[in-house]
Structure 1
Amino acid sequence: MITLFMPDALHALTQLRATDLVDRFVDASAVLPPDWLAMCQQVQDALDDAQRLHVMEEFLEPRWQQCRPSQASLQHRYSDWVAHLTQRAAVSAPGRSLRQVERRIKQWAGLPLRELRIMGRSEEAFYASTTQAAQTADKPDWAQIAADMGYSDQSHLIRTTRRITGFTPEALGKGIQQHESFWAYRLWM
């Protein structure tokens, strides 16, 4: 069982900084507070997935209600989350220069603003390709999608997607549809 948190939510819930966890595997007992470790043990000891989910919900719900932002973003896409994060960083503390905002974002999210925007644009391109494929029942027109999403050309889109995921957009789409190992990408669909 895996639980995913957006970096700012993880920080709000645990005070862990995403920058300390990027590109690393870390033992939970080394970083999580004691009450989180107790919850992890309860999840492990649960008899079935329904009970595991119940334990996690009972643990997380009151904590999230206590620390959640007063005005949550209504958007559900990555680029909208980045825009919301940028807005929060700009008004959250003294020092509102662009560099200070970028430092806050990197501290909260674990990645620089530029990289987050690149990932958001890639996600938008992927959504556009799945929407186009569903509407036309053909292969996506990658050149048109690249132009619509602000890439310099189709190869720019392909290089960026390959850098982020390790796959071309075409291979990523096929993998999501056909292979169980691509389950993490399905979470965003």
Structure 2
Amino acid sequence: MPPSHDFDTALLPSGTLWQPRASLMACVRGAMVRSTVGATLSDEQRINHFPATPLCSLSWWFEGSSVVLQGARPDHPGALTDTRGPMPGRWVLTGPQTRPGASWCPGPVHAMMVMLMPDALHLMTGLEPTDLIDRFVDASTVLPPAWIAMCQQVQAASDDAQRMERLEDFLEPRWQACRPVLPLQGHRYADWSLHLAQRAAASAPGRSLRQLERRIKRWSGLPLRELRGMGRAEQAFFRVVQAQTEGVVHWAHIAADSGYADQSHLCRETRRITGFSPEVLRDGIARHESFWAYRLWM
């Protein structure tokens, strides 16, 4: 769970979280832009920690590169084995991630990760989210030609604002042409999974629980139970952020208000989704460069 706002003053600015146009809010969750160009960082500081997520993502590297890290040791933010795999392409598409992950940048980097709702990606491209679960894929091998042309235009843009504009100009007409009649207005995971369930119930004949769950898994890549679990975790994250602004965090109250059975349940789920216990995650966000993505969401 998030720390107090007493962040280490040596931390870099976390980056920029770009919010999509209103017309794309059910399609794009957001875009994270991160630049360490001009900064001097240690090997440990160039690690990037990410939680498990139901989202898909499309990433660009404008300067520098990243590699995938494996072998994270729970509760030790900087203790990762030297098992490293290169990213599979110039532009990388990832599917829903059922486990927390980490990457490492060999040097300064300027990159952008656009987070897409998996059902929206399916509607616009025909790709099956279930085929992308826990995978990093060379985007040029799976995306339609028009998408590859868009990736090239984003890569060639002069600054981040222009990159986002080109991306949104590309996505907007495609999303408006295929978006479901039942709008997926929920921008957080819990609301989104509820809308998926409503859409599954209304979309086709056959409304048994098994048929509904099969549709939801096809659209999102993950079973409804997993989506609801991530929704609880996200609710808890933002409840803690709010509680800290008020000066005190009661973990038992956070657990109960977020739908957990008890505080122990909250701790187990936090470790499963992030790889760290709540206290280690709390300290990591406040004091470790590698938790920049969590700080950005706060």
Q: TM over 0.5: same fold?
A: yes
Residue 147 (structure 1) shift:
2.4
Moved over 6 A (4+): none
Deviates more, 1:159-168 or 1:69-78: 69-78
Matched, 1:143 2:231: no
Q: Which amino acid aligns with 1:87?
A: Q
Aligned to 1:129: 240
Aligned to 2:197: 86
Q: Please identify which structure carries the higher helix content.
A: 1
Q: Which amino acid aligns with 2:277?
A: T
Q: Distance in 2 between matches of 1:4 and 1:18?
A: 13
Q: Distance in 1 between matches of 2:161 and 2:243?
A: 36
| 1:7-46 correspondence runs (5 A) | 7-46=118-157
Secondary structure of the residue that 1:26 maps to in structure 2?
strand
Deviates more, 1:61-70 or 1:164-173: 164-173
Instruction: Give the direction of change, closer, same or farther, for the CA distance of 1:185–1:109 in structure 2 (3 Å limit).
Output: farther
Q: Distance in 2 between matches of 1:65 and 1:183?
A: 33
Deviates more, 1:2-11 or 1:148-157: 148-157
CA contact (8 A) 2:184 2:196 kept: no
Aligned to 1:154: 263
CA contact (8 A) 1:147 1:153 kept: yes
CA contact (8 A) 1:126 1:169 kept: no
Which structure has more RCO (C-alpha within 8 Å, separation ≥ 6)? 2
Aligned to 1:118: 229
Instruction: Give the direction of change, closer, same or farther, for the CA distance of 1:13–1:176 in structure 2 (3 Å limit).
Output: farther
Q: Distance in 1 between matches of 2:150 and 2:292?
A: 25
Residue 99 (structure 1) shift:
0.3
Q: Provide the aligned length of Structure 1 versus Structure 2.
A: 187
Q: Distance in 1 between matches of 2:180 and 2:152?
A: 28
Secondary structure of the residue that 1:3 maps to in structure 2?
strand
Instruction: Give the direction of change, closer, same or farther, for the CA distance of 1:187–1:88 in structure 2 (3 Å limit).
Output: farther
For normalisation by structure 2, the TM-score amounts to 0.58
Deviates more, 1:48-57 or 1:78-87: 48-57
| Unaligned residue ranges in structure 1 (runs of 5+) | none
CA contact (8 A) 2:182 2:199 kept: no
